Structure 1
Amino acid sequence: MPFSTRVVVTQELEPGEHRSLRILSNHAKKDDVEEFLRKAERMNTPRDRQNVEAVLQVSVKANDELYREIRRDANMCDALRELMKDDLEDARKMGESEGEVRGAAKIILKMNRSGMSPENIASITGKELDEINAILEGKVPVAL
């Protein structure tokens, strides 16, 4: 079944129009990205925010060096941070959680090295014996 297709040549789009498409190319222009970020800051609905994040994810991957330059600009960096605050907060929480798991694993290894049995470690830490054994067998990453 035939279907219609359209090809968008981002270089041929009007500079002031369709910024969300223009920044998707791997040759995005700094002024297009900055203007997109300014407009994106004013978008408040969850759907708009999801769309902005999707566009930014693609654009950042395609234009790494440009975004490094933009991050050096304090105002634009604040705009990026605000747009991606939910992702940053999720990443921070995941990092904290990972750190806690690794810290507990280090303590469990030290307890075992000082002669404590896995059963005693489980009793003291409140963790399941299977979890203690997984740590002692190296199935849980410990090194930071």
Structure 2
Amino acid sequence: MAQNKTQPTKVDVEAFLAAVEPPARQADGRMLCEIMGRISGDAPRLWGPTIVGFGTYHYRYESGREGDSLRVGFSPRKPALVLYIAGGFPRYEGLLAQLGPHTTGKACLYIKRLSDIDLNVLEELIAESLIYMRTAYPD
């Protein structure tokens, strides 16, 4: 069975964040690192070349495919911050409506700048996503 493409690495998260451009994106990345670390209680770890992840979980699909992934994380990409948080919990849509400017993908939340959104709402999204993930994938 094939391994996931995105695996945890031994690359130093601080060194990765120090190289992020532009400086405003780097500052947002550092803030997200602090927020996600505080809420999750996990140390940051670089997954692949650009994703800062917190915690892990093991999944197994009905097809038999299984693997490990990060519980929450982010990537400070040039066009937007990409947040990897699980949706599907009861307050997800309501919290998104209060967040501020964003777009969503399958399991991603895209934000241009942290200064554009309500950080308290973001923290609630992260916290409730973690509760949902710990319930769905208790490991």
What interval of TM-score do these two structures reach, taking the shorter chain for normalisation?
under 0.3
Ranked by relative contact order (alpha carbons within 8 Å, sequence separation 6 or more), the top structure is 2
Structure with the larger strand share: 2
Q: What is the TM-score when the length of structure 1 is the normalising length?
A: 0.20
Rg comparison, structure with higher value: 1
Q: What is the TM-score when the length of structure 2 is the normalising length?
A: 0.21
